[in-house]
Amino acid sequence: MKNENSIELVNVKKKFKIYADKGNSMKDKMLFWKRNQYEDHWVLDDISFAIKKGEAVGLIGRNGCGKSTTLKLINKIMYPTDGKVKVNGRVSSLLELGAGFHPDMTGRENIYTNASIFGMTKKEIEEKIDDIIAFSELDEYIDNPVRTYSSGMYMRLGFSVAINVRADILLIDEILAVGDMSFQKKCFKRLKEIKNAGTTIVIVSHALGQIEQICDRCIWIDYGKIRRIGKPMEVHAEYLKELEKRSQQRMQALNGEPGTGNDSNTFCGREVIRSGSGQLFFTGVELFDRDGNRESVFQTGEYMRAEYTFTAAKEIHKAEFAVRIYGDDDTHYYGSTSVIEKSCTEEIQGKSKFIIEFEKLELLEGDFMLDVDALDENGEVLDRIHDTIRFCIQNTTGRTGICNMSSTWKLE
């Protein structure tokens, strides 16, 4: 093992036995031996990488791709079927919070138990205990039995212990969601401090933003193999594109050609919330980039064009179109209509495409969806669909928040 490395994985393979129906008791084992037939499943198939001392690395991938297994191998919770896992230094993990807590014992007593499970000696714990209590913000509750704690307090205590363990390597699995916003912020700040102090950090997360903020590198694991290693921004961009591609493939596989849905409560083969008389009927939608390629992942400031196809049953003298952008938490980000935009929408018949071009997407980051409406001149709804298509925006500007503001900065 090279000296500058703190973790090395060499040709690591891990096999799980997938039992059809597993019995652990003797009766099951003897009577239903057929049930104990299993299939081998290679969770990790020949993975090699090295992590340098003091480096922060993110592991990403879809559920079941093997990223948590990788973390468990590094942590020595599991052992590889083949290959070598070399770890240099003391490992602490934020995998399970509040391990070994006894409900009838006080917070303070439980700190001792919990910290000792991480391998701390009594002396080390005594040095740290004030920090731990301060970090947990439990103050006067610390000498109450843990069973009187709210679940938030419980998690905060567990987190405070885990994050105060002095370790060379810190492993984190998807748990930066403890407590309220201010506590989360504090955790994040502490994580950065830990990193700056030279601790190696490995994070498994679906929150790509968090990885980008902390990690120097990102490893994308796909079907038990390493798909890509690189700068978080670059790996994430590719990862998101792949995700979107797969979800579209899945949808196409389910529904044949896209954009042929003709049922009143479906759109593009998906179930949607839809209303209206149907005299004007949207049949499909696609998003394009400036070069006319179909796209669903955009970067802040990029061009986006949405094209809605529709059929009009009879002549519609004048219609009004409306489009709204929602976030995946149903926040309304943007909305406008053809009236506001002074677009000519007379004499619909014969036309079958409604196009909106966004010269610059000024949203910073997230998953978004488009709603569309078509109204007649009296304001009666012809067709209204919620969540017609989704797209994702990546923020490579480094700016934070929800919308991009152009600004000039200078000193005078």
Partner 1 sequence: MDKLKELYAYRQMLISLVKKDLRGRYKASVLGFFWTFINPLLQLLVYTVVFSVVMRAGIEKFYIFVFVALVPWIFFSSALTGGANIIVMNQDMIQKIYFPRIVLPISYVTSCFVNMLFSFIVIFAVLFVTGYGFNFTACLFLPLIMIIEYIFALGLALITSACTVYLRDLEHILGIVSMAWMYMSPVVYPLSFIPKELQSVFQLNPMAPIITAYRDILYYKQIPQMQTLLLATVTGIVFVCVGCFVFERLQRGFVEEL
Q: Is 116 in the site for partner 1 (CB under 8 A)?
A: yes
Q: Is 25 in the site for partner 1 (CB under 8 A)?
A: yes
Q: Is 99 in the site for partner 1 (CB under 8 A)?
A: yes
* Interface pick for partner 1 out of 113, 144, 266, 337 (rule CB under 8 A): 113
Query: Tell me, what amino acid is at 118?
Result: F
Task: Give 184-219 as a 3 state SS string.
Answer: HHHHHHHHHHHHHCCCEEEEECCCHHHHHHHCCEEE
Q: Interacting stretch for partner 1, rule CB under 8 A, among 92-100, 200-208, 228-236, 269-277?
A: 92-100
The distance from CA 156 to its chain's CA centroid, rounded to whole angstroms, is 22
Instruction: Return the closest-CA partner of residue 45 out of 69, 70, 18, 13.
Output: 13
Instruction: Name, in order, each residue with C-beta under 8 angstroms of 22's C-beta and a sequence gap of 6 or more.
Output: 28, 35, 36
User: Scanning residues 309 to 368, which ones bind partner 1 (CB under 8 A)?
Assistant: none
Closest approach of partner 1 to the CB of residue 332, in Å: 40
Instruction: Return the closest-CA partner of residue 43 out of 224, 176, 202, 305.
Output: 224
User: Scanning residues 119 to 158, which ones bind partner 1 (CB under 8 A)?
Assistant: 119-122, 125
Query: In whole angstroms, what is the distance from residue 400 CA to residue 145 CA?
Result: 41
Query: In whole angstroms, what is the distance from residue 163 CA to residue 153 CA?
Result: 15
| Cα separation values, 137 from 131, 156, 199, Å | 10, 8, 24
Q: Is 36 in the site for partner 1 (CB under 8 A)?
A: no
Q: Interacting stretch for partner 1, rule CB under 8 A, among 17-25, 235-243, 335-343, 387-395?
A: 17-25
Q: Is 16 in the site for partner 1 (CB under 8 A)?
A: yes
Q: Is 63 in the site for partner 1 (CB under 8 A)?
A: no
Instruction: Name, in order, each residue with C-beta under 8 angstroms of 243's C-beta and a sequence gap of 6 or more.
Output: 62
Q: Is 259 in the site for partner 1 (CB under 8 A)?
A: no
* Interface pick for partner 1 out of 7, 12, 85, 91 (rule CB under 8 A): 91
Instruction: Return the closest-CA partner of residue 376 out of 308, 285, 309, 277.
Output: 277
Q: Is 369 in the site for partner 1 (CB under 8 A)?
A: no
* Interface pick for partner 1 out of 79, 130, 197, 398 (rule CB under 8 A): 79
Q: Is 27 in the site for partner 1 (CB under 8 A)?
A: yes
Q: Is 72 in the site for partner 1 (CB under 8 A)?
A: yes
Closest approach of partner 1 to the CB of residue 10, in Å: 19
Rg of the Cα trace of the chain? 27
Cβ proximity to partner 1, 76 vs 290, nearer residue: 76
Closest approach of partner 1 to the CB of residue 72, in Å: 7
Closest approach of partner 1 to the CB of residue 57, in Å: 19
Burial of 350 (0-12, 13-18, 19+ CB in 10 A): exposed
Closest approach of partner 1 to the CB of residue 136, in Å: 18
Backbone phi, psi, residue 402, to 5°: -110, -25
* Interface pick for partner 1 out of 70, 93, 160, 338 (rule CB under 8 A): 93
Q: Is 84 in the site for partner 1 (CB under 8 A)?
A: no
What token pair was written down for 172?
């984190």
Strands 200-204 and 56-60: parallel
Q: Interacting stretch for partner 1, rule CB under 8 A, among 51-59, 105-113, 148-156, 211-219?
A: 105-113
Q: Is 104 in the site for partner 1 (CB under 8 A)?
A: yes
Cβ proximity to partner 1, 95 vs 304, nearer residue: 95
In the complex, which residues of this chain contact partner 1 (CB under 8 A)?
16-17, 24-27, 29, 72, 75-79, 91, 93, 95-96, 99-100, 102, 104-105, 109, 112-113, 115-122, 125
